[in-house]
Amino acid sequence: MAGASSNVGDSVALTVHGPRGSLDLVVPTAVTVLDVAREYASQAGLADVPPLGTHRGATLEPGASLAGSGVRAGDVLVALTAPTTAPSPSRSRRGSTGPSDAPGALAVVWLALAAATAVLAGLLATRADGTTRDLTVGLLVAAAVVGVMPVGRLAGHRALAAPVFAGAAALAVVWDPEPARLPTVIGLAALVAALTAAVGRSLDQRQEEGLRVWIVVGSLVFVLATGCALVGFEPPVVWSLLLVVAVLAPRFVPAYAVDVPDQLLVDLERLAVSAWSARERPRGRRGRTVVRPSAVETVAEQGARTLTAWSAAVLVLVAVAAPLLLASATLPVDRVG
């Protein structure tokens, strides 16, 4: 980033932009361009010292001084080439698995079909006899237990599908044909799904964003359903509240989807003129913070997964609450509303 600066004595404040981000420096004008490049390489953790140039692409002579090269306060210098660096431990761990180990779109489709089959099995088990229902419930519980186990390259995706199996099993166990008790039945199934997601999140955090959404949505459905039942509200009230929450959620969810760490946030005070003080060299990390592109990519990926999970949750809530609301609303004015 560039900013205004002040020049006091023989020191200048400048910015060096390179493959590992931007670095603000306050250096004497008598130092060479090579000294500045070495300082950037040291602070950014580069294995090699990159050549520096101006923001227009002109290469600076390494042995020339900053004053002789025409560098002034507030200028932006650019590392012209990306030096060879040693792989970080996190990249080494990701690279050791190989690209073929990453689950593809087929795995996602397969687990989505398995989750839909689990819901269908739970609904059919509510109308089956004792032996068939017990067998179905046992298979669903076994699938949920296997899903939360952090074993295999598909463990993260299985953990997202495991709450569906657990919720379908709970639906078959607590099923009651009485329409007035349907909100409570669905609330209990949602609570079981949330508990399963909490267990999966404690064992493996590869899909933490989606499991967190499972926990929040399942708990919310349970609180609304059981709370309305305790107060004595009719089922249409429960479905209308769920529908309102689902409709309003896209308005507020994006504000909480991207959780940026404090060290990546821009300090507006550093952009002020007084921040470019050349009286002394900045001390501490805040004067030499380098934001790595990989850290920005991680934050963006987490935000994308969070938005995807919340979008799926909103879609499911609307698909469940809207038909049940229309089915339970007997008065014409309620249907229009």
Half-sphere exposure of 227 (CA within 13 A, CB side): 11
Residue 316 inside a domain? The answer is: yes
Average the pLDDT over each of 97-101, 181-185, 229-233 and give the range with the smallest value. Answer: 97-101
Average the pLDDT over each of 5-9, 113-117, 219-223, 303-307 and give the range with the smallest value. Answer: 5-9
β strands within the chain, DSSP E:
11-18, 21-28, 52-54, 76-79
Q: What is the pLDDT of residue 292?
A: 63
Is the CB of residue 67 less than 8 Å from the CB of residue 28? no
Average pLDDT of the residues in 207-227? 91
More confident residue, 121 or 29: 121
Average pLDDT of the residues in 270-285? 44
How does residue 91 score in pLDDT terms, banded at 50, 70 and 90?
very low
pLDDT, one tens digit per residue, over 145-194 is 998 998 887 888 888 889 999 999 999 999 988 888 899 999 999 999 99
d(CA 314, CA 249): 7
Is the CB of residue 93 less than 8 Å from the CB of residue 138? no
Q: 237: closest CA among 248, 222, 227, 251?
A: 227
Q: What is the pLDDT of residue 295?
A: 67
Q: Are residues 73 and 119 in the same domain?
A: no
| Per-residue pLDDT at 276 exceeds 70 | no
| Number of Cβ atoms within 10 Å of the Cβ of 73 | 17
Residue 273 inside a domain? The answer is: no
| Per-residue pLDDT at 321 exceeds 60 | yes
Q: Are residues 174 and 311 in the same domain?
A: yes
Q: What is the pLDDT of residue 141?
A: 93
Residue 92 inside a domain? The answer is: no
3-state class of 11 per DSSP? strand
Share of the chain above pLDDT 70, in %: 79
How does residue 220 score in pLDDT terms, banded at 50, 70 and 90?
very high
Is the CB of residue 40 less than 8 Å from the CB of residue 18? yes
Q: What is the pLDDT of residue 253?
A: 83
| Per-residue pLDDT at 81 exceeds 70 | no
d(CA 53, CA 55): 7
Per the structure, how many domains does the chain have?
2
Q: Are residues 75 and 110 in the same domain?
A: no
Most confident of the ranges 11-20, 130-139, 274-283 = 130-139
Q: Are residues 215 and 297 in the same domain?
A: yes
What is the CATH classification number for the domain harbouring 22?
Answer: 3.10.20.90
Q: What is the pLDDT of residue 169?
A: 93
| Per-residue pLDDT at 93 exceeds 60 | no
Q: Are residues 56 and 193 in the same domain?
A: no
Q: Are residues 64 and 168 in the same domain?
A: no
CA dist 164 to 126, 204, 329, Å? Answer: 16, 17, 28
Q: Are residues 68 and 167 in the same domain?
A: no
How much is the pTM?
0.61
Mean predicted lDDT score pLDDT of the chain: 78
d(CA 216, CA 258): 17
Q: Are residues 204 and 322 in the same domain?
A: yes
d(CA 265, CA 80): 26
Residue 69 DSSP class: T
Average pLDDT of the residues in 98-115? 71
Residue 20 inside a domain? The answer is: yes
Q: Are residues 298 and 151 in the same domain?
A: yes
Residue 18 inside a domain? The answer is: yes
Residue 207 inside a domain? The answer is: yes
Q: Are residues 21 and 165 in the same domain?
A: no
| Per-residue pLDDT at 273 exceeds 80 | no
Which residues constitute the domain of residue 304?
Answer: 105-264+292-336
| Per-residue pLDDT at 210 exceeds 80 | yes
d(CA 80, CA 210): 40
Q: Which residue has the tokens 């004008």?
A: 29
Q: What is the pLDDT of residue 102?
A: 54
Average the pLDDT over each of 21-25, 185-189, 291-295 and give the range with the smallest value. Answer: 291-295
d(CA 146, CA 141): 9
d(CA 226, CA 224): 6
Average pLDDT of the residues in 15-27? 79
Q: Are residues 143 and 239 in the same domain?
A: yes
Is the CB of residue 6 less than 8 Å from the CB of residue 26? no
Share of the chain above pLDDT 90, in %: 24
Residue 237 inside a domain? The answer is: yes
How does residue 223 score in pLDDT terms, banded at 50, 70 and 90?
very high
Residue 271 inside a domain? The answer is: no
Q: Are residues 132 and 258 in the same domain?
A: yes
d(CA 237, CA 148): 34
